[in-house]
Structure 1
Amino acid sequence: MPLQRMKGQRRQHEVGDVFALQLDDSSYRFGRIVKIGESGPQGRFPGGILAYIYDVSSSAPEPDLTSLMPDRLLLPPFFTMNWVWQKGYFRTVAHEELEASHLLKQHCFYDASTEGYVDENDNIIPERVEPCGWFALTNFEHFQHELDEALAGRPVHGAYARNSSEPPGAS
């Protein structure tokens, strides 16, 4: 389901910003910025934005902030850049200071360079923790594909490490 473009925004993003994305059926989904800046000692994502997208639908672009919790994620956490706001695919609609209850207890990303799992700071974690995404900047086509898959009820996740006991697609 393609995203509709809204009015673009050029603004300084903040951790805790809540944004809307509008689907082609005119409904809205919501996301939250949970981290901004470099990730890890290698600084692989300077200016990168770690965000969540929630499985919370609305006919209006104003979210019920109490419903934006980690147990309502539509997709695994992902890294993006400012251009999705500039082009109007995401639009900041609210701000709420982050609390521990707004965050997953452990972020997990599959890192293709090590064929293992890392957290949002590029620290190796010993095993996969769900939801597990990709340790990479998400391009728009990949994001759109994952959003379409999730909205269709198909699981979306990062790859499994070679030494994993679970094959891709197992849950």
Structure 2
Amino acid sequence: MAETNLSVLKPSRKAVKPGDVFAFRLDGRYGFGRVIRTDAEIGPMTGCVLVYVYRVRSDTMDVPDRAELSPDRLLISPVMTNKLPWSRGYFEVIANQPTGPGEELAQHCFLSAARGTYFDESGHQLPGPVEPVGDYALHSFRTLDDQISDALGVARVP
């Protein structure tokens, strides 16, 4: 396994679902995220997992208050990934809380650096940026590790 700042929790091959709240451990504390969609698209890639990663941190894996799981509490921009963070055990599902009113951004926006254009999570081109802008790319657990580490001020793993 590649070395990361993220600790291995509990590997799972169970399919993730929209609303799954997950925990991760980095720098000795737990952080949290939520699966927003499991059918996001990046060009020809389908079935991508759109996730939010929140600022809330804890010494325990207990599900945070719902107020902490809102789009104004994001640690990083929305990210599209595959199922490896869960199957390798870096993310562990701890609850399922489908999003309610105000718990999703009105518009997701991702920049294709190669094209200099913006897309939503369904691959539709947008006329311009809508904050927060993520990367129009499939992120691995390693690039997620780098983004989360950067946002928390933790040195990246070489």
TM-score normalized by structure 1? 0.81
2:90–2:141: 8 Å Cα contact kept in structure 1? no
Supply the AA of the counterpart residue of 2:35. I
Counterparts of 1:93 and 1:34 in 2: how far apart (Å)?
15
- The whole-number CA distance in structure 1 between the counterparts of 2:40 and 2:125 is 16
- For structure 2, the residue ranges without an aligned partner over 5 or more in a row are none
Structure 1 runs, 4 residues or longer, greater than 4 Å off:
none
Q: Matched residues, percent identical? A: 35
Q: After superposition, what is the alpha-carbon deviation per residue over 1:43-89, rounded to whole angstroms, capped at 9, x for unaligned?
A: x3322100000000111111224110000000000111111111110
SS at match of 1:97: coil
Q: Which amino acid aligns with 2:47?
A: G
Instruction: Name the structure 1 match of 2:70.
Output: 69
Separation in structure 1 between the aligned mates of residue 57 and residue 40 of structure 2, nearest angstrom: 31
CA deviation after TM superposition for structure 1 residue 38, in Å: 4.7
Larger Rg: 1
1:5 is aligned to 8
Question: Aligned residue for 2:55?
Answer: 55
Match of 1:14 among 2, 17, 20: 17
Distance, in Å, in 2 between the alignment partners of 1:45 and 1:59 is 36
Q: 1 CA distance for matches of 2:109 and 2:6?
A: 26
The equivalences for 1:1-171 within 5 A come to 2-25=5-28, 27-39=29-41, 42=43, 44-66=44-66, 67-152=68-153
Q: Which has the higher contact order (CA 8 A, sep 6+)?
A: 2
Distance 1:30 1:65 in 2: 11
Provide the C-alpha distance between the structure 2 equivalents of 1:72 and 1:15, rounded to a whole number of angstroms.
18
Q: Is the 8 A contact 2:31 2:54 kept in 1?
A: yes
Distance (Å, rounded) in 1 between the aligned partners of 2:18 and 2:144: 20
User: Which structure's residues are more often strand, by fraction?
Assistant: 2
The number of residues matched between the two structures is: 150
Look up the SS of the partner of 2:41 in the other structure: coil
Query: Residue 84 of structure 2 contacts residue 140 of structure 2 at CA under 8 Å; is this kept in 1?
Result: no
Using the TM superposition, name which of 66-75 and 122-131 deviates more: 122-131
Report the RMSD for the aligned CA atoms in angstroms: 1.8
